[in-house]
Structures are given as structure tokens and as C-alpha cells.
Amino acid sequence: MFYKALMLLALGSLSAHGASVCPATAPAGAWGLEYQVSASQSGAEPRQVQLLRRGAQTALYSPEHQMAEWWHFEDPKRPGFSRVFDQQQRRIDYYMGDLRALGVQAQQEEVESFAARHLLGQLTKQGSSPCEHAERYQGEINGVSYDLLWSPVLAAPLAIVTRKGEVERRWQADKLLGKDAVNARFATWQRYRETDFADIGDMENDPFLAKMINQGFIEHREHAVYNDQGQPLATGHSH
């Protein structure tokens, strides 16, 4: 009963906020969604994460950390990947061989959909939606209950609420970013000093890269709905 009550609370929240962004058509060229990400765990502060899309390029950007994970799927079988560090104006580029050597297997549609595409086939589509141009899906997978508000025109979620036990996580799109903002950000990142991931181990003299070597890459998993292997957190297994 307690679980059901929490579910209703969660769904009620989604209904209340689900329509703040609900486009009827996808903006031409480039667009982005800014999500508010929060968790019910004590001490977990709400954070922002942006999903930026332009053609075959998708980036997940954390304004708080000023870091992005930027995917290129011009050749879907051989994606390119960059970690972007705004503060240092640096970029780490991963070629296909680097991703393979690290065991990273990213699916284009999962990255582009904020890792929600896999949920559609496993959840039940609801008859009503808080948004005229969005579809609502609900259900439970592996003990996690989901409430998903999906935008068919963007092929991305407008909101996701998950609950496992007493822990609730929510991703809520509250702003649609226009093409100028997205293009400007991609152009800025393109100008950053780039380093191939394969070269990092040989460049311990570079203070920025030395930090990468010694401390690894900061994974902002609290923002992402996929893990550091590029797999949706709710599915898959990585070694």
C-alpha cells in the first residue's frame, strides 16, 4: 500500500510538470532539452543536464560541472566520442578503437533518446497524457517502476520518473533550447584543444591530462540514465 501511495505521488508529480515542454514539431536543424534532475535520497541536490542534438551529433552536458559527453554517429557503426571540459577548454577525443579497447558499446538511439528508447517496448502506453503532443508510458522493469512522458517528434523523453524502494529519481525537461544556442555550444567545443584518448597515457607532463591519468574521468552518473559503459542503467551488463 505504501508503495502504491508513493507511485501515485510520483505520477501526480509527472502530471503536474510534464507539459512544461511539449513541442508539436521538432525544431529544424539543432535543438536541445534542459532537464531538471532530482532524487529523493537525502542530500541529493537537484541538478541540470542538457540533451543537445544536431543531426547525427548528440551531447549530454552538465552546466554545473561544465562537462559534456559528445557523440558523433555520422557512421553509426563507428561512432566518435568526445569528453568536453569547458573550464579548461579541452576536449578528449575517442576514436572507435579507443571505445572498443575500453569496452564502451553505445547505441545511437539510446544516446539520442537520453537512454529512454529501450523503455518504450517494455512499458505500457497509457490512454491519456498530460501533454497533447507526448505519449505516456508506465510499468515496472526489474523492480523499478517507470513513468515516462515521450515526445515522438523529438524522439526523446520529456520526463522520466523512476522509483525503486523509497528512492525516486526524476528527469524533467523544463526548457527547449533553440538551434542557435546548440550550434554555438558545438562550435565552441570544436575550437577547444583536443587530445586523443590514446595519447593521454604518454602526456603525464600536461597538468590537465595528469589529472585525467591519476584520477580518471569524472563520471557524472547522477545525471545520466546510462552508465559509464554507454548502456542504459536499467538494462544490460558490463564487465
19, 26, 102, 120: residue in contact with other proteins (rule CB under 8 A) = 102
Q: Quick one: which segment of 33-41, 100-108, 120-128, 165-173 binds other proteins (CB under 8 A)? A: 100-108
Distance CA 139, CA 145 (A): 6
Cell of 117: 528508447
Minimum separation from the CB atom of position 235 to other proteins (A): 17
Residues 6+ apart with CB under 8 A from 225: 114, 115, 116, 160, 171, 232, 233, 234
Rounded least distance, CB 55 to other proteins, Å: 13
3-state secondary structure at position 114: coil
CB neighbours (10 Å) of residue 106? 18
The verdict on 128 binding other proteins (CB under 8 A) reads no
Query: How far apart are alpha carbons 49 and 220 in whole angstroms?
Result: 10
Q: Does 116 bind other proteins (CB under 8 A)?
A: no
CB of 7 to other proteins, least distance (A): 32
216 binds other proteins (CB under 8 A): yes
Which of 6, 19, 96, 181 lies at the binding interface for other proteins (CB under 8 A)? 96
3-state DSSP assignment of residue 180: helix
Cell numbers 557524472: residue: 220
Q: Is 203 in the site for other proteins (CB under 8 A)?
A: yes
Indicate whether 147 belongs to the interface with other proteins (CB under 8 A): no
CB of 116 to other proteins, least distance (A): 25
Note whether 219 binds other proteins by CB under 8 A: no
Task: Please list every residue from 62 through 81 that binds other proteins, using CB under 8 A.
Answer: 74-75, 77-78
* C-alpha–C-alpha distance, residues 63 and 79, integer Å: 24
Q: And the C-alpha cell for 126?
A: 497509457
Contact region for other proteins (CB under 8 A) — 21-29, 38-46, 151-159, 191-199? Answer: 191-199
Pairing of strands 193-196, 90-94: parallel
Binding site for other proteins (CB under 8 A): 74-75, 77-78, 93, 95-98, 100-103, 105, 196-206, 212-217, 239
